[in-house]
Amino acid sequence: MTVLVTGGAGYIGSHIVRAFRLAGLDCIVVDDLSSGHREFVPDGVEFIDTNILDSTLVAKAMVEHEVEAVVHLAGFKYAGVSVQRPLHTYEQNVQGTVSLLQAMHEADVDKIVFSSSAAVYGTPDVDIVTEATATAPESPYGESKLIGEWLLRDAARAFPMHHTSLRYFNVVGSAVPDLYDTSPHNLFPLVIEALLEGRTPRIFGDDYPTPDGTCVRDYIHVADLADAHVVAAQKLLAGTQLEPVYNLGSGDGVSVREIMTAVADATGIEFEPEISDRRPGDPARIVASGELAARDLDWAMRHSLADMVSSAWNARQNHPV
């Protein structure tokens, strides 16, 4: 049984590939290395260096490798930057998903797990987001993820397509020392890079209406997230009907300042973060219930915040660049 992972050379995708292999399922990876890394794809996994917009090549790979399900992560993932690059974001995320679905249709592959995002909710006015919370994306990135979900839904109305979309909250940590988050925009890698370079980590705003004034997020460990993808794909492969969307959140909010303290504890480096201006577009708080995913996808927080921080730090230190 072979699963195609688009974006499988990225930080999250490469964890998912490893989780599939641990579960005894073969994978192939399609990735154009725009933000992924060739060395994140393990030996023995077929790697196809192309963009999913090349529908013909992707369909050919599906047929050649007898792919039965797709886990779709490939796309432009920087929400903040997407505001300046809307056309690129829509091309990669919307046209890219259309092209992938065309390839699947052509190759008779009818199961897909889609990587969606908390960004579809924008700034929710509830303490705990559920799948019933209204979507209101605030960036081309968030819009494009929501459109991706609609594309799956509409494809499934027109031809056989068994699908689910997983809305990720803040994915952090490392499951294996080889893989780490290389994003130049996210909190964990930015704090770690600053400490490695002897700079002071920065908090973007401490005047939010939250208990300590810094933004509150829902941090989840990439290993737990990867396992949820395996369960979702296995269920689709077994013919189980899944919900169209699941939130992968913990139900717990952690502030940026609390993350800074956890980083100081994990690394043994004492520092007082610098406070800078708010980053435009950051909601004060976004935290989700993962109850639906716990019911259907064996979703659980199997790693503590301390694990998230120390595994991220250790993996990054393994890779001096």
Distance CA 150, CA 160 (A): 15
Distance CA 2, CA 7 (A): 16
Q: Which amino acid is at 305?
A: L
Considering only 33, 54, 204, 294, the residue that binds ligand UDP (CB under 6 A) is 204
Least Å from the CB of residue 93 to ligand UDP: 16
Beta-strand runs (E) in the chain: 2-6, 26-30, 46-48, 67-72, 111-117, 162-168, 170-172, 202-204, 216-217, 219-221, 245-248, 254-255, 274-276
Residues binding ligand UDP: number (CB under 6 A): 13
Q: Is 186 among the residues that bind ligand UDP (CB under 6 A)?
A: yes
The active-site residue, picked from 141, 168, 219, 246, is 141
Least Å from the CB of residue 91 to ligand UDP: 21
Q: Is 170 among the residues that bind ligand UDP (CB under 6 A)?
A: yes
Considering only 88, 279, 295, 319, the residue that binds ligand UDP (CB under 6 A) is 279
Stretch that binds ligand UDP, among 10-18, 63-71, 82-90, 196-204 (CB under 6 A): 196-204
Q: What is the DSSP string of 193-212?
A: HHHHTTPPPEEE-S-SSSTT
Question: Tokens 């908390």, residue?
Answer: 118
Instruction: Supply 97's token pair.
Output: 């998903």
Q: Is 210 among the residues that bind ligand UDP (CB under 6 A)?
A: no
Site for ligand UDP in 251-270 (CB under 6 A): 256
Whether 141 is a known active-site residue: answer yes
Show which residues are catalytic: 141
Interacting residues toward ligand UDP by CB under 6 A: 170, 185-187, 190, 202-204, 215, 217, 256, 279, 282
